[in-house]
Structure 1
Amino acid sequence: MKILKQTIVLVIAISTLIACGRNSGQKPATADGFSDIESDIKNEFGNDAYYTDLTITYNKSIGNIIGVTVTKDPSSLKMEQWNQTQGVWSQNQQISLEVPQGTKAEDYMFQLDDNINLKTLGKLAEKASKQLTADKKLENPTLAMAFVKFPKNGDISKTEYTIMLKPEHGGTTFTFSYDLSGNLIKMDY
């Protein structure tokens, strides 16, 4: 009986550690951190889900807030808006789509794959942070928001990765926009 109790306690402890370790809210704005967030998104919505919006917002009090507009079936012309805060997913909204005649809904959506992925977004967040430190002498810039900006016309080649950084203790927000190859399009503040 004593061994059974110890086994149960051990299983609960391991489950708690695994659940806490998967909390996307605490992942850093790095390639590895954002890759973990992508894994969490795929675990929730599947590897073949389609998106029109994907945003990671950082809040000092609660960590990362992940927002997605997603569907598993583009032909249904229905999408759902979801947020993950402190590791918990909640649905905010149902969205009905209209697409121009002769086109398919997926023409206006993207998938997380080799072309568009959060690991690249994380690498670019690291790159932007280093550039901001070097150019503006700003130590420890903090992620405000990072997102995939997918064009409304569905031209995947015009997709942008956008990273917004701010000083650790508040102030001006610096916005970096990159193309899919990681080339800087513009830096604005």
Structure 2
Amino acid sequence: MKRFKYIFITGILILSMSCGDKVSKQPANSKGFTIIEDELKKKFGVNAYYTDLTISYDKSMGNLIGVTVTKAPESLKMGQWSLMKGNWKQNSEIYLEVPNGNEAADFMFQLNEKINLSTLGELVEKATKELKKQKNIENVELDIAFIKFPKNGEIFKTEYYVILEPKNGGTTFKFRYTIDKELIGMNY
């Protein structure tokens, strides 16, 4: 009976440790990025405000997430956080200066139907297909994907950036998209 109890507890510990790192293993696509967005909402709340959100990929560590986020924009205080291998770490706190007559939230974005990681993941897939079509490069992986929110707070000027690189190394390919998923430009 003691042996069974030991095996059971060991199994539960292994299972709980492996579930805690689901974000780093997500594929760079719409479904995978939706899971990452769910993790962000779980950590910071569904009404959190962001000024920076980056997903990068490292072969040995998987997905690395970096955000500058607050739950209370009116406080003018934001935290810079990173997620690596299932562990959240706050790197620093920053304080914002907002021009008179403006609200801090005007210079931040929320993850919702207008701006979301599902769209960013979809654009990674689109960029991968475009690279295959234009350059006949098939084996690429995500280097970095991020949301660029304009400093003036005009949400319609939000851009999605996708940077891909061949799995065997070499040139990186940069794609810029509008909030409406239209390609602005590609360069390398």
Post-superposition offset of 1:78: 0.5
Counterpart in the other structure of 1:67: 66
Provide TM-score, normalisation by structure 1. Answer: 0.93
Identity of aligned residues (%): 53
Relative to structure 1, the CA distance from residue 104 to residue 12 in structure 2 (aligned partners, 3 Å threshold; closer, same or farther) is: same
Counterpart in the other structure of 2:86: 87
Structure 1 segment 39-188 matched on structure 2, within 5 A: 39-188=38-187
Query: Cα deviation per residue 1:62-120 (whole Å; 9 max; x = unaligned)?
Result: 11110000000000000010011111110111101000000000000000000000000
Q: Which moved more, 1:165-174 or 1:123-132?
A: 165-174
Task: Name the SS for the 2:24 alignment partner.
Answer: helix
Task: Name the SS for the 2:160 alignment partner.
Answer: strand
Q: Give the distance between the partners of 2:56 and 2:18, measured in 1 at CA.
A: 24
Task: Name the SS for the 1:12 alignment partner.
Answer: helix
The one-letter amino acid of 2:89's match is: S
Post-superposition offset of 1:26: 1.4
User: Please, what is the CA RMSD of the aligned residues?
Assistant: 1.5
Q: Give the distance between the partners of 2:59 and 2:66, measured in 1 at CA.
A: 17
In 2, are the aligned partners of 1:133 and 1:141 still within 8 Å (CA)? no
Post-superposition offset of 1:12: 3.3
Counterpart in the other structure of 1:31: 30
The one-letter amino acid of 2:23's match is: S
Post-superposition offset of 1:8: 3.8
Q: Give the distance between the partners of 2:163 and 2:15, measured in 1 at CA.
A: 36
In 2, are the aligned partners of 1:144 and 1:165 still within 8 Å (CA)? yes
Q: Give the distance between the partners of 2:131 and 2:145, measured in 1 at CA.
A: 15
Gap runs ≥5 in structure 2: none
Q: Give the distance between the partners of 1:40 and 1:57, measured in 2 at CA.
A: 16
Task: Name the SS for the 1:111 alignment partner.
Answer: coil
Q: Give the distance between the partners of 1:138 and 1:62, measured in 2 at CA.
A: 24
The one-letter amino acid of 1:155's match is: E
Gap runs ≥5 in structure 1: none
Q: Give the distance between the partners of 2:66 and 2:12, measured in 1 at CA.
A: 32
Task: Name the SS for the 2:50 alignment partner.
Answer: strand
How many residue pairs align between the two structures?
A: 187
Structure 1 segment 12-27 matched on structure 2, within 5 A: 12-20=13-21, 23-27=22-26
